Amino acid sequence: MEHVERWSAVRAPDDVFPAYRGTPIERLLLYHNQQRPLERCDRPQILIGMCMDYRKHLRIPEDFAYILRSGGANLRPSEFKVSFAIAVGGVRAIALIGHDQCGMVDLTSKEEVFVQGLVDVGWDAEKARGHFRAFAPHFEIGDEIGFLREEAVRLRGRYPKVVVAPLLYRLDDDLLYLVRE
């Protein structure tokens, strides 16, 4: 197991943290990182909350997961959808997948680029600035690892009988890593 202060590699089945063994979290890690053969699924086993970033693609079976994508893997604005996947869909595991180089980190520094991008497609500059300032605080995540840890704690408090795993997708190797808590 790679020992990095903030995350751990999953290069073999034994690298999966004991709390996630025998769960859909383990299967997700083995499908994606270890190229485990994709099994047939009759219904979703897991809810995956991941960033909307276009650079990430998961290797998982059809019908294995509900997937919600939002900036920074922030599930707060999607709480009802999370509850639906649990209450109606029957999932008992959530994988929160953030990634390095996330645009929601230090979001406030991107105000001018955001405003100009909206002006370029016809927005009034002041309305674009107001739009940014109204919503950016709700979507700023701080740093990726810290946010994943905090969101995992929040979701565990909300859904105490659901396994919640914070994971990091590293863009340099397209692999998932377990976040150390």
| pLDDT for position 3 | 45
Give the mean model confidence (pLDDT) for residues 93-104.
91
Whether residues 147 and 58 share a domain: the answer is yes
pTM (2 d.p.) = 0.91
With bands split at pLDDT 50, 70 and 90, how would you rate the model's confidence at 83?
very high
Domain extent, residue 15, equals 7-103+142-179
| pLDDT for position 2 | 46
Whether residues 41 and 110 share a domain: the answer is no
| pLDDT for position 127 | 98
Q: Would 59 be classed as within a structural domain?
A: yes
Q: Which two tokens stand for residue 175?
A: 């692999």
| pLDDT for position 4 | 59
Whether residues 58 and 146 share a domain: the answer is yes
Whether residues 20 and 64 share a domain: the answer is yes
Q: Is the pLDDT of residue 61 over 60?
A: yes
Query: Is 75 in contact with 95 (CB distance < 8 Å)?
Result: no
Q: Would 1 be classed as within a structural domain?
A: no
Whether residues 94 and 118 share a domain: the answer is no
Query: Is 45 in contact with 64 (CB distance < 8 Å)?
Result: yes
Kind of pairing between the strands at 163-170 and 175-179: antiparallel
Whether residues 97 and 131 share a domain: the answer is no
